[in-house]
Amino acid sequence: MDLRARLVGGLVGYFVLLIVLACVLIALALREDVLEEVDASSRLVDLMLAMSDAGEHRLARVESLIAEGGMRHLAVTLERDGEPVAQEAAAGGVPRWLAAVLPHAVFDLAEQRIRIDGATVVIKPDPASETSEILAESARMLGLFVLFVFVAGFAAWRTVGLALRPGVELERGLVGLLDETPRTLPAFELREFDRIARTMESIAHELALAREAERQMGRRLIQVQEAERRALARELHDEIGQTLAALGLAAAYIERHAGTAEREAIADCGREIREGVATVSGQVSGILKRLRPHGLDELGLLEALNDLLDFWQGRQGTAAIFARLPTALPALPEVAALSIYRTVQEALTNAHRHGEATHVDVELAVAGAFVALRIEDDGRGCTEEQLSRSSGGVLGMRERARIAGGELVFEKGRAGGLALRLRLPVAGLEEGRHDPIDVAG
């Protein structure tokens, strides 16, 4: 059953019950009115017959019938010598407020005077009786109307309350979504509420999956962060540490033999120190570049990308890189520029370390309100399952693209390797959220 049928059905049921009750009351009132009308007509007939009777007790009979009353809408009086001898009990006068609106002709109706045995029977219409009857009927109808209003209000309150009772369960379900304690909602009789309940359960399921994925991502990011720290510590120890140790030995030799050593030996030690400092400087520069590309802030995205591509091109045993970059780019938020740079950096690293690629195409272009990046290699490729289980590099690329409001898609390349497409909006990010970087190059 749907909500409309429940509401309309409930209201119609109450109204039908009210109509039946009104019909019963009207029937009872009609029965009473008919009995009173028949009795009044019978009494008027008896009075007319008594007046036409020629018996010696005629006047006493007429006087008795007039005293009994019961003749509706008529005022009957028996007068003798101008004084009333017998008259029907008064029905009460016409209320002043009603008399003020009635025409005067109502109160100036002609009377009929009939003489019998030295007395006079006066018969005239009685407006008070008629108005009393009309007022009583109006009060009855007004009472029915008031009853109808109260019953209609109660019917609406009761029907709507029953129909919306599932709203309490739905509210509890929403609270469960908020405090991460989803509840199983019961099956509702009304189709609308049942559809809402099933939709809420589906949303709760998807939200639970999203929260679990978020927790897994957090754990993986922490693992990746710790792995990067360990790798950085090893690199500092293995490369810079050894170089610094060699520099320390050269400096110690100079310190111990400064007065006795030959000039050539001192010069050799100085040369070793200079070369060692240059080596350490290069190693520190490489580490800093991996941690934070300084050119991205000073030179812009295009120069930073060119510097990154030159670095990979200059390394031995790496794939050949063919890049197509625009001559200029619009101003991008920092998060978008960093997403593009890190995506290129990670893609080139993966192609070199894992993909066994010999050729990598890098293309960056502006397409309307978006910046589009495509990187494709001819390596071994990678399945979606492998990507889902991949290390933090792919996870970081996805997360940066999401934060920048873009989309990152992995697919099979034309040469059988791996291809990725990154699409980021130029505008539309939250104002003031990130400081823009001029990447015009």
- If one compares 1 and 51, the residue with the highest pLDDT of the two is 51
Arithmetic mean of pLDDT, 31-42: 83
At 428 the pLDDT is: 47
What pLDDT band is residue 438 in, cutting at 50, 70 and 90? very low
Indicate the residue among 98, 129, 163 that finishes a domain.
163
User: pLDDT tens for residues 189-206?
Assistant: 777 778 888 888 888 888
| In-domain check, residue 183 | no
User: pLDDT tens for residues 202-231?
Assistant: 888 888 888 888 888 778 777 777 887 888
CA atoms within 13 A on the CB side of 196: 18
Arithmetic mean of pLDDT, 385-412: 79
| In-domain check, residue 244 | no
Q: Where are the beta strands (DSSP E) in 289-336?
A: 320-324, 332-333
From residue 439, how far is each of 188, 269, 296, 421, 436 by CA, in Å?
58, 45, 8, 20, 9
- Rounded Cα distance between 98 and 109, Å, is 17
- Rounded Cα distance between 149 and 145, Å, is 6
120-129, 345-354, 395-404: lowest mean pLDDT where? 120-129
Q: What percent of the chain has pLDDT over 70?
A: 82
Arithmetic mean of pLDDT, 292-300: 64
Using an 8 Å Cβ cutoff, are 395 and 225 in contact? no
| In-domain check, residue 89 | yes
Using an 8 Å Cβ cutoff, are 341 and 296 in contact? yes
Tell me: pLDDT of 39 over 60.
yes
Range of the domain at 312: 299-437
At 109 the pLDDT is: 64
Quote the distance between the C-alpha of residue 167 and its chain's center: 14
- Partners of residue 86 on adjacent β-strands: 78
The two structure tokens encoding residue 204: 């709760």
Indicate the residue among 144, 163, 182 that finishes a domain.
163
User: pLDDT tens for residues 68-81?
Assistant: 777 777 778 887 77
- Rounded Cα distance between 281 and 309, Å, is 20
| In-domain check, residue 151 | yes
What pLDDT band is residue 371 in, cutting at 50, 70 and 90? very high
At 229 the pLDDT is: 82
| In-domain check, residue 60 | yes
Arithmetic mean of pLDDT, 169-180: 79
- Rounded Cα distance between 90 and 286, Å, is 121
Indicate the residue among 163, 192, 221 that finishes a domain.
163
At 324 the pLDDT is: 92
Give the number of other CB atoms < 10 A from CB of residue 351.
Answer: 26
- Spell out the residues 6+ positions from residue 351 whose beta carbon is closer than 8 angstroms to its own: 319, 357, 360, 377, 379, 417, 418
At 88 the pLDDT is: 63
Residue with tokens 């009786």: 129
* Three-class secondary structure of residue 409 per DSSP: strand
Please, what is the average pLDDT of the chain?
Answer: 78
At 102 the pLDDT is: 64
Using an 8 Å Cβ cutoff, are 328 and 440 in contact? yes
> Domain containing 374 — which CATH number?
3.30.565.10
At 90 the pLDDT is: 52
- If one compares 106 and 305, the residue with the highest pLDDT of the two is 305
Number of domains observed in the structure of the chain: 2
Using an 8 Å Cβ cutoff, are 173 and 185 in contact? yes
| In-domain check, residue 257 | no
Q: In the 8-state DSSP scheme, what is residue 356?
A: -
- Rounded Cα distance between 155 and 163, Å, is 12
Tell me: pLDDT of 16 over 80.
yes
Tell me: pLDDT of 378 over 70.
yes
From residue 99, how far is each of 88, 106, 118, 131 by CA, in Å?
22, 9, 36, 10
- If one compares 380 and 366, the residue with the highest pLDDT of the two is 366
| In-domain check, residue 235 | no
> Closest Cα partner for 406 from 353, 349, 337?
337
| In-domain check, residue 313 | yes
What pLDDT band is residue 440 in, cutting at 50, 70 and 90? very low
User: pLDDT tens for residues 110-161?
Assistant: 677 888 877 888 887 776 677 777 777 888 888 888 888 888 888 788 877 7
At 344 the pLDDT is: 92
